[in-house]
Structure 1
Amino acid sequence: MRSPASGRTHIVDAVFEVPAGGTAGIGTELRIPEPQLWSDADPHLYQLTTTLNWNGASAEYDEIVGIRTFAFDPDHGFSINGEERTLKGVCLHEDAGCFGVAVPPSVWLRRLLTLKEMGANAVRMAHNPHDRALYALCDALGLFVIDEAFDEWENPKNKWWQGHNVYPPRHEGYATHFPAWHERDLRDQIAAHRNHPSIIAWSIGNEVDYPNDPYASVLFEQMTGNNDADKPAQERMYDPTRPDVRRLTTIARRLSAIVREADPTRPVTLAAAFPELSSRTGLLDDLDLIGYNYKERLYPDDHRRFPDQPLIGSENGHGYAQWRAVAENDFVAGQFLWTGIDYLGEARGWPVHGSDAGMLTLAGFTKSEWHLRRSWWTQAPTAHLAVRAQPAGLDRKSFWTHPVSRNWDGAEEPIEVLCFAGGGAPHLTCDGSPVPLSFDEEGGFWSATVPASTAMFVLEVRDGDVVVARDELAHAGRPVVFAADVWHPPADAARRCRDAGIAIDSVIQIECRLLDAQGRLAAGELPVTVVTDGARVSIENGDLADITPYTSTMRRTFDGRLAVFVRAEDAGTVQVCAEGLPPVTVQL
């Protein structure tokens, strides 16, 4: 075993005999003095080389591994190498817009680094095994991983193909294959992934316990489950013709036993959609780590009900209350936002063809929510301004249904300016005059109501008398400059990827922006055409309603931005042209 960072090598030898046509197992013990431990703060990795020698022949196998200890404690949450951590996680689907699910490692790297800058330190692989490169990147970057196997067990869940809770549903998922393949697939997943130091838990299922979808219980009549809104009345009543929900407990015990036999070193968890019922039917009893989806209100009572089982938010909304439920309760190990990045599918309706639940767009650009989350999840200086129409009677529980933007052109009523600030005290001026701010306890930000005639906002975050972060917001002008910059990973991240054997140079990423005369992100969108000398390109703007074919070399900007991806092996010259502006030539 060799440490790429220090160059230290540790060797162990073993001799064993295998009969002709037979098999044999061997166990060895390698002791490493003063090992360098893997963690989110310092993701140190080792290269493990296994050399087999027999009858003058040999074969060699390399694998990247890490050394660490971790624990989930019922009262103190999660710890790594004895140090307590709060898991600040995001759920991820496996696609990346124009790439579908064939996502190059460099594209994942850019996305993951942006999520880490937000404060994220964990990923939940939703809801199936992902590409091997994504796990390797989590190892290299220091991101904890919950690896999840199934979204369905032996009965299918409803698929809302005409809109949320619009009947009739369709059924298309893993349930068809579960009876014959669940054990083989689960064991294969664990065998393939168990040497990744980033993985801290195996999840055996996601939301298999939806009420009446398809499992039913007489107890269902005593409580209301999630996903009930707009369902027909008969779908919210006990139906004895449906499969009995207690069957889930039997399956869960079987899956947990398979996991513990395949890997006894990590806890078994499950993402429960309806713990109000599942905690009473035995579904959660055999878990090492209880995962709740969107049920933060149950944390205190259920911690008292299950004092010996650690608890985590396996899937959570973006609200401040959901975060405070973690930050104010040491026994909650953390939360996983739905989701980290926008993804294809689960759309509201054509032409929208994806979910906008992410902190990043499909193009990998940050949203305003990213800055707000950063102000909660990090101590880093953060300053970001956003505006919206004054929300009369705003329901804070549905805060993000009242969209914010960086543009208030044409607003007639008073507007609310939102200040996402961290790392110091916020100070806001409007057209040069100080404006008092109030902290919104439900939204988790500072705000003020100002006239729509305001032309310029400036937010300064100060540590004492020192300005540590600053943002300004003014009416954007028309596009006059088109900027196109090649994205490069930070040197430390690139080194860690190289040490982990991850190829991150297969795709060149060009971040494009429309700028106004003041160098700010411009107002208005323009079609952009990419011209190459034969290089293969893809374009993504992050607009989930844009149905331009991904094979096209033209796409409109979205919020003044888009990303161009070029295969590195085709590297040459790329010309990016925004309509009416001087073209930009990028030498790759």
Structure 2
Amino acid sequence: MVKIYFSILLLFVLSTFSMNLAGQDNSRTIENFNADWKFFKGDVPSASNIGFKDSDWRKLDLPHDSSIEGNFSNSHPATVGGGALPGGTGWYRKTFKIPRSAVNRLVSILFDGVYRNSEVWINGHYLGKRPNGYISFEYDLTPYLKLGSENCIAVRVDNSQQPNARWYTGSGIYRDVKLLITNPLHIVNSGTFVSTPVVDKGLAKIRMEAVIANNLKSRKINLRHQIIDAEGRVMLEKISPLTVTGKRTNSVVNMELPNPRLWSDIDPYLYKIRTSLIEKGKIVDDYETPLGIRSFSFEAKNGFILNGKNIKIKGVCNHHDLGALGTAFNLRAAERQLEILKAMGCNGLRTAHNPPAAALLDLCDRMGFIVMNESFDMWEKKKSDFDYHLDFGQWHKKDLEDQVLRDRNHPSVFIWSVGNEIQEQWGTGADTLGRVWARKLVKIVKDLDPTRPVTTANNDVNSYNNLISSGAMDLIGYNYNHKSWDDFTNAHPGQKLIATETTSALQTRGHYDAPADSMRIWPTAWDKPLLTGNADFSCSAYDNCYTPWGSSHEETLKAFYRNPAVSGMYVWTGFDYLGEPTPYTWPARSSYFGIIDLAGFPKDVYYLYQSVWTDLPVLHLLPHWNWSSGKEVDVIAYYSQADEVELYLNGVSKGVRRKDGEELKVSWKVLYQPGTLKVVSRKNGKIILERNVSTAGPAAKLELIADRGVLDANGEDLSFVTIRVLDSQGNLVPDAAQAIRISVEGAGRLVATDNGSPVSHESFQSDIRKAFNGLAMAIVRTYQVQGEIVIQAFSEGLGSAEIRLQSK
């Protein structure tokens, strides 16, 4: 029955595709081109030929990350720097038909990102190569298409040269692919640019630029701009006559919108501008541009101003992997990450250290994130043997231009960063390489977008830093060096400060090393191995473990709020990520930096940020309450919206605590005895919140909790199902590590499992996952069919648990 449904669906998609192409009155169509590809892991040079036989190749849909399907191994060339997963070479092929009625239409293919060294052919014709694995690019297919017959796209991806990054990159066509069909007279893809030179509550002056392509003779048209609000109402329309000559014509139109609703991090209201080319009363092309109306500035003394209000950018850095899903972009997985961050009070995101997926910026637009959009992790000087330094000289201009053109209309993008911890920071001479490149890159950005500041993320903040002293940067970016923030105005008079990267604290969810106020700096220096650590490769979640270049979360937050000149901070990192497992090496294979672990489970410090970064009443108690009898245990509470908190052990008060001065937490030292810890927060003597943690007995059962109970039957939607190991009383067992088998039936399938452990070597595709400190995660994906999804978890001695979801 399911096979019949899929066959009918495929016929519908193909017929819709043909109708869209055939309709000469259609101004433009953008087709999802992710379905029905074939993939081969390895190198087959003849696979670019149109007659190549690929019948035995694997069928799959994009986006796809071939590396995440591999096994963890210390023998992989990327080693722990890249997550200990394989690179390699792979080929993708797709056949498709274009109807004869599509004559005189232009067809382009748009790749949002291919890692890396992609080469593309259409019907055996070579279209080109893009070494950069993070950049979006397109090719014109029109001259090589065979109308009414089968066409074949072939893509070779080469990620075999390792190492080429310090983090996990993934391999393959790991972002969306689309087909763009237009008339010869059309608006160039990424060819609009909207800016708001004047914004206040009463009026927004809007400047709209459009680049129009025309491969026919000179013609007179009408150019229509419509400003449309979030409810779909046309708020303003302006029609201008235009003569289109030559291959490209630039148009600039100014508009005024009265009483605009402003975009902000707490109210990310979105308009859009629909730009139409109208010839003889007929719409020849339509193009939509997002519009978020906001004003902002950075000031030397007062930091960041958004819509006339002084606010702090409370951000995190994130790499592009999605945990157990690898780097294959999924809209729901990315949305879930942003939802978790937003609930923490986060309003900023730095795309470390490369251009993000285009759809991630769409999410940031509508969810209210202040994005620092980063371009490069290195310039000409390498960080690893086969990284982008090999291609920077030839490709930097094209890659940077394509990034800015694609992303400059996103209201969430506030800052461009053209480099992270660039090696050209250092060097002597009147005109060093670092200064030359800094000025070149900033000019490339400013030529395309003069409305946003440009920075670099610098781990050396001294005056001899070539990037800082180049005079090219609008913002001075500090990585770490939080003790230098207070002296910034003296060191760089009149300059503006952004903390591009902070903290680098290390934590394992659910592990605690006492005493809590004894700091562990692991390793002792950035260039030295860790000589002593924990035998289980853990780091303490007390916020008392950090790198020698970093600091604790609490210390960094205090410095952040102490200095109004610090416009914002981006914590390293929001989520744990694959690769770079500081302070350990193998068998660790993922990072410890995250406020949230790889599976998406918050670590304790998440609630510290929530207590500082939100207006919510917060009360969080740590650690767990399973210890040796008589042991002195540090008990900590993070709280907000209260005057005081009181701790009870088995009903006996252990004292009232209040935060004084800059303090962000309260603590007690308690001699352990089994039972229940309870903490109560009060304001004006009235109880606000209570939290309990009890001694857990032996593991007795499983519990399943889904993040969403109703999913979209689109073949892409996901449910993240938390599996908890409980005792007979329903308490989480804090050290539970039982193996759990997960099965899924009905209208969905299991696509990945995880537990958040940095040292787990189980395949993410395995249906058996050990719990880590009492928790595991199952990720379920819908089919393109409605119905019930039944998820079961079973563990020997614990029995089974079940949850049912609906796919609609």
Task: Specify the code of the residue in structure 2 equivalent to 1:30.
Answer: M
- How much has 1:196 moved relative to structure 2? 0.6
- How much has 1:121 moved relative to structure 2? 0.8
Contact 2:350 2:372 in 1 (8 A): yes
- How much has 1:540 moved relative to structure 2? 2.0
1-structure distance, mates of 2:466, 2:789? 63
Name the residue aligned to 2:738: 526
- How much has 1:64 moved relative to structure 2? 2.6
Residue in structure 2 matching 1:193, options 391, 407, 412: 407
Contact 2:424 2:434 in 1 (8 A): no
- How much has 1:552 moved relative to structure 2? 1.3
2-structure distance, mates of 1:364, 1:463? 32
1:307 and 2:523 aligned:
no
1-structure distance, mates of 2:628, 2:431? 54
> The residue matched to 1:342 in structure 2 has which SS?
coil
Please, what is the CA RMSD of the aligned residues?
2.6
What are the Cα deviations for residues 140-194 of structure 1, in whole angstroms up to 9, with x where unaligned? 111110100010011102xxxxxxxxxxxx5232111110111111111010000
**Which region of structure 1 is more displaced relative to structure 2, 576-585 or 185-194?**
576-585
1:457-476 paired onto structure 2 within 5 Å: 457-476=677-696
2-structure distance, mates of 1:486, 1:94? 24
- How much has 1:334 moved relative to structure 2? 1.7
- How much has 1:209 moved relative to structure 2? 4.2
2-structure distance, mates of 1:90, 1:509? 22
- How much has 1:536 moved relative to structure 2? 3.2
Name the residue aligned to 2:107: none
Name the residue aligned to 1:509: 720
**Which region of structure 1 is more displaced relative to structure 2, 376-385 or 263-272?**
376-385
2-structure distance, mates of 1:118, 1:24? 46
Greater RCO, CA 8 A, separation 6+: 1
Name the residue aligned to 1:375: 611
1-structure distance, mates of 2:675, 2:459? 46
- How much has 1:137 moved relative to structure 2? 0.9
1:414 and 2:632 aligned:
yes
1:586 and 2:586 aligned:
no
Residue in structure 2 matching 1:435, options 633, 654, 669: 654
Name the residue aligned to 1:267: 453
Task: Specify the code of the residue in structure 1 equivalent to 2:493.
Answer: P
Task: Specify the code of the residue in structure 1 equivalent to 2:332.
Answer: S
Contact 1:381 1:461 in 2 (8 A): no
Name the residue aligned to 1:399: none
1:411 to 1:445, Cα distance in 2 relative to 1, 3 A: farther
Name the residue aligned to 2:534: none
- How much has 1:572 moved relative to structure 2? 4.0
Task: Specify the code of the residue in structure 1 equivalent to 2:343.
Answer: E
Residue in structure 2 matching 1:52, options 266, 277, 286: 277
1-structure distance, mates of 2:597, 2:794? 21
1-structure distance, mates of 2:472, 2:318? 26
Q: Which has the higher Rg, Structure 1 or Structure 2?
A: 2
Contact 1:481 1:514 in 2 (8 A): yes
1:108-507 paired onto structure 2 within 5 Å: 108-157=334-383, 170-209=384-423, 215-216=426-427, 246-279=432-465, 282-283=468-469, 285-317=471-503, 318-347=552-581, 348-387=584-623, 406-410=624-628, 412-424=630-642, 425-436=644-655, 437=657, 444-453=664-673, 455-488=675-708, 506-507=717-718
Residue in structure 1 matching 2:248, options 9, 23, 27: 23
1-structure distance, mates of 2:362, 2:653? 49
1:98 and 2:334 aligned:
no
What are the Cα deviations for residues 306-362 of structure 1, in whole angstroms up to 9, with x where unaligned? 232210111110432221222111111021110000000102222221102111111
1:545 and 2:759 aligned:
yes
> The residue matched to 1:28 in structure 2 has which SS?
strand
**Which region of structure 1 is more displaced relative to structure 2, 72-81 or 426-435?**
426-435
Contact 1:321 1:442 in 2 (8 A): no
Residue in structure 2 matching 1:576, options 771, 792, 796: 792
1-structure distance, mates of 2:310, 2:618? 24
Task: Specify the code of the residue in structure 1 equivalent to 2:377.
Answer: D
| Corresponding residue pairs, total | 519
Task: Specify the code of the residue in structure 2 equivalent to 1:540.
Answer: D
Task: Specify the code of the residue in structure 1 equivalent to 2:501.
Answer: E
What are the Cα deviations for residues 498-544 of structure 1, in whole angstroms up to 9, with x where unaligned? 9xxxx996223323222333333234232222223374322122112
**Which region of structure 1 is more displaced relative to structure 2, 378-387 or 264-273?**
378-387
Name the residue aligned to 2:183: none
Name the residue aligned to 1:107: 333
- How much has 1:132 moved relative to structure 2? 1.2
The structure with the greater share of residues assigned to strand is 2
- How much has 1:562 moved relative to structure 2? 2.3
2-structure distance, mates of 1:576, 1:276? 57
> The residue matched to 2:687 in structure 1 has which SS?
strand
Unmatched segments (≥5 aa) in structure 1 = 158-169, 219-243, 388-405
Contact 2:427 2:434 in 1 (8 A): no
2-structure distance, mates of 1:532, 1:76? 54
1-structure distance, mates of 2:715, 2:289? 18
- How much has 1:461 moved relative to structure 2? 1.3
Give the fraction of aligned pairs with identical amino acids, expressed as a percent.
Answer: 30
**Which region of structure 1 is more displaced relative to structure 2, 196-205 or 47-56?**
47-56
> The residue matched to 1:107 in structure 2 has which SS?
helix
2-structure distance, mates of 1:585, 1:427? 37
What are the Cα deviations for residues 66-111 of structure 1, in whole angstroms up to 9, with x where unaligned? 1111111111100111111111110010001111111311112222
TM-score between both structures, scaled by the size of structure 1: 0.83
> The residue matched to 2:395 in structure 1 has which SS?
helix
1:434 to 1:550, Cα distance in 2 relative to 1, 3 A: same
1-structure distance, mates of 2:488, 2:423? 17
What are the Cα deviations for residues 451-496 of structure 1, in whole angstroms up to 9, with x where unaligned? 1225321111111122222211111223333222331399xxx9xx
1:306 to 1:456, Cα distance in 2 relative to 1, 3 A: same
> The residue matched to 1:583 in structure 2 has which SS?
strand
2-structure distance, mates of 1:505, 1:65? 27
What are the Cα deviations for residues 354-380 of structure 1, in whole angstroms up to 9, with x where unaligned? 102111111111110101222222232
Unmatched segments (≥5 aa) in structure 2 = 1-226, 504-551
1:25 to 1:516, Cα distance in 2 relative to 1, 3 A: same
> The residue matched to 1:566 in structure 2 has which SS?
strand
> The residue matched to 1:292 in structure 2 has which SS?
strand
- How much has 1:22 moved relative to structure 2? 2.6
- How much has 1:304 moved relative to structure 2? 2.1
1-structure distance, mates of 2:571, 2:685? 35
2-structure distance, mates of 1:353, 1:484? 27
2-structure distance, mates of 1:465, 1:440? 18
Task: Specify the code of the residue in structure 2 equivalent to 1:468.
Answer: I
2-structure distance, mates of 1:245, 1:125? 30
Contact 1:216 1:245 in 2 (8 A): no
Contact 1:416 1:447 in 2 (8 A): yes
Task: Specify the code of the residue in structure 2 equivalent to 1:554.
Answer: I
Task: Specify the code of the residue in structure 2 equivalent to 1:464.
Answer: N
1:217 to 1:76, Cα distance in 2 relative to 1, 3 A: same
2-structure distance, mates of 1:567, 1:306? 51
1:331 to 1:558, Cα distance in 2 relative to 1, 3 A: same
